[in-house]
Amino acid sequence: MSKLDTWVDNRFVQNIVVWLFLMLIFMMVIQAENRFVTTLGFIAFIMPPIYISNLKILPLFFNNKRLLGVFLFLLNILFFTFLGVILLSDLFDKFQWKMLLNVFGAVLLVILFGTALKLARDSFFRRQEEKEAALKLLKAQLNPHFLFNTLNNLYGLSVVKSEKLPDLMLKLSDLLRYSLYETKDTFVPLEKEIEYLQNYISLEKIRLEDKADIQFMIGGNPSGKTIAPMLLIVFVENAFKHLGVLQNVKSKVIVNIEVGEDSLIFSCKNTIDTLETNQDNLEKGKSGIGLQNAKKRLDLMYPEKHQLHIEKQKESHQVELTLNF
């Protein structure tokens, strides 16, 4: 990203540019002896109601608190209308009823204008983030290292003519078909996402054989629920990628999914090498989208509807994610 792109994406710079642009417009429109001072005063007056509306009141409409949002929206308008009348009438010495109507209309107009700008900006950046998330999802759909190891293991089973081979090849086929063809929608059935995790873990069991204790537990009824595709696999893949070998103790990967009526609780715990002390290694990895990109997807797909806790202990690494449907 160039320095220009960095400046363009900076919210503070964006706000400064918008206010400077409005200031130029007002200086051309306002008829007063000292246009600059009058314009500065007008800008200083309309800034607070716009920022209060955009930063505090507008989010309420997206968090199922519309009645509270409407109440505070009207209160915001009335308060600054009253304040504007006080300033224009010299503490009501020159008060006129039409003044009240004019100030009310002006305050309402500037708040709606500010809200429209914020919605347009947020919509634009949200679409950009969705495109970026889609690209990262595409990159995560097929991990060449995982596929290479799996094919090697399947080849070994074919040499000894193992009875496990047909079933495992079918699991690999299902895994690839889901990741390549069934993840194009914004949300997918939770049952399919769980089945994908089961197939992935089954293939990892081949690679690890008896070297690790791998548990996958599911509670509740996933039927009828949906989830962002390829969301949970990031944490499971990361657990196997950083699975460590402990002295006199079997390595472990424990994945648990509890499906409630309105929420999902996902946890994934794996043992790590006691010499592994770099948290960045755990979060970035060498392939896949990494935990940092998973956090960005969560913020995009589940704003204010998820809680993610990542904890690293001396011999283990644990992720717990709660999603509200």
The model's pLDDT over 161-171, given as tens digits with 9 standing for 90+, comes to 777 778 778 88
287 pLDDT tier (thresholds 50, 70, 90)? very low
The average pLDDT across 210-220 equals 89
Are 205 and 89 contained in the same domain? no
36 pLDDT tier (thresholds 50, 70, 90)? confident
- Residues near 120 by Cβ (< 8 Å), separated by ≥ 6? none
Are 55 and 195 contained in the same domain? no
Q: What is each CA distance from 49 to 77, 114, 152, 187, 244, in whole angstroms?
A: 7, 9, 64, 37, 55
Are 241 and 113 contained in the same domain? no
More confident residue, 297 or 78: 78
Can you give the pTM of this predicted structure? Answer: 0.56
More confident residue, 217 or 295: 217
- CA torsion through residues 31, 37, 41, 47, sign: positive
CA 252 to chain centre: 29
Whole domain around residue 81: which residue ranges? 3-135
Give the domain CATH number at 306: 3.30.565.10
Final residue before a domain boundary, out of 81, 115, 135: 135
Pairing of the two strands 212-220 and 263-271: unpaired
Are 255 and 153 contained in the same domain? yes
Least confident of 225-229, 230-234, 252-256, 274-278: 274-278
Are 250 and 146 contained in the same domain? yes
Final residue before a domain boundary, out of 135, 159, 191: 135
Are 275 and 150 contained in the same domain? yes
Q: How many folded domains does the chain comprise?
A: 2
Q: Which residues of 272-281 are buried (b: 16+ CB within 10 A; e: fewer)?
A: beeeeeeeee
Final residue before a domain boundary, out of 135, 165, 188: 135
Q: For residue 245, which amino acid is it?
A: V
Could you report the per-residue pLDDT of 238-272, keeping only the tens digit for each? 888 888 766 677 889 999 999 999 999 999 999 88
The average pLDDT across 35-42 equals 80
Contact indicator for 254, 288 with CB cutoff of 8 Å: no
Are 295 and 216 contained in the same domain? yes
Q: Is the pLDDT of residue 173 over 80?
A: yes
Q: Which residues of 236-256 are buried (b: 16+ CB within 10 A; e: fewer)?
A: bbbbbbbbbeeeeeebbbbbe
Are 99 and 205 contained in the same domain? no
The average pLDDT across 293-297 equals 78
Percent of the chain with pLDDT over 70: 82
Are 235 and 205 contained in the same domain? yes
What are the φ and ψ backbone dihedral angles of 275, each rounded to 5 degrees? -85, -10
* Whole-angstrom distance, CA of residue 77 vs CA of residue 117: 18
* Whole-angstrom distance, CA of residue 133 vs CA of residue 124: 14
Percent of the chain with pLDDT over 90: 16
Least confident of 105-119, 151-165, 182-196, 218-232: 151-165
Are 222 and 187 contained in the same domain? yes
* Whole-angstrom distance, CA of residue 158 vs CA of residue 164: 9
Please count the residues of the chain: 325
Could you report the per-residue pLDDT of 305-322, keeping only the tens digit for each? 899 999 888 788 899 999
Q: What is each CA distance from 35 to 109, 164, 199, in whole angstroms?
A: 21, 83, 70
Are 153 and 81 contained in the same domain? no
Q: Which two tokens stand for residue 216?
A: 């996958």
Q: Is the pLDDT of residue 191 over 90?
A: yes
Pairing of the two strands 212-220 and 226-227: unpaired
Are 99 and 26 contained in the same domain? yes
Contact indicator for 230, 217 with CB cutoff of 8 Å: no
Q: Is the pLDDT of residue 141 over 60?
A: no
279 pLDDT tier (thresholds 50, 70, 90)? very low
